[in-house]
Amino acid sequence: MLGYEAILIMAGLAVFIALMFIMLSHLLGPRNPSPAKTSVYECGVTPLKTARERFPVRFYLLAILFILFDIETVFLYPWARLLRELGASGLVEMLLFLLILLVGLIYAWRKGSLELE
């Protein structure tokens, strides 16, 4: 397995412990339901609409775009760390990467994907 046994054992142990805690809390935890605990909002605010309201697709699109551009910036950190070792070719490649991201951002901006109206 090329040295991945320890990672697999650790992941399996983590899943096992998580499942055990969930099972133990379900078996040993107190069950004292009351009208206040089972209400939709415990803060005392009367709900105006149903909790099952549908979100507009633009909300999900904006969330996906945020995650996309947020994750892509993570690639800047190793590049900045290795910039001197990569030389001019690394600089050109990263500038091309940033240019592609900028084109995508401008496209999303012009399409109105960044607005939640």
Model confidence over 62-110: pLDDT tens digits? 888 888 888 888 888 888 888 899 899 999 999 999 999 899 889 988 9
CA 19, 24, 27, 31 torsion: positive or negative? negative
Q: How many domains does the chain have?
A: 1
pLDDT of 52 reads 77
Q: Domain for residue 117, yes or no?
A: no
Tokens of 93: 């490649």
9-66: pLDDT as tens digits: 999 999 999 999 999 999 998 888 787 676 666 566 676 777 677 777 888 888 888 8
What predicted TM-score, i.e. pTM, was given to this entire model? 0.50
Cβ pair 63, 116 in contact under 8 A: no
Q: Domain for residue 116, yes or no?
A: no
User: What spatial distance separates the first Cα and last Cα of the chain, rounded to whole Å?
Assistant: 52
Average pLDDT, the chain: 85
pLDDT of 60 reads 84
Domain enclosing residue 90, as ranges:
5-111
State CA 83 to chain mean position distance.
28
Q: Decide if pLDDT at 117 tops 70.
A: no
pLDDT of 40 reads 65
User: Would residue 44 be called left, alpha or beta, if left means φ above 0 and alpha means ψ between -120 and 50 degrees?
Assistant: left
CA–CA separation, 94 and 61 (whole Å):
26
29-38: pLDDT as tens digits: 888 878 767 6
pLDDT of 41 reads 63
State CA 55 to chain mean position distance.
18
State CA 101 to chain mean position distance.
19
Tokens of 36: 């206040």
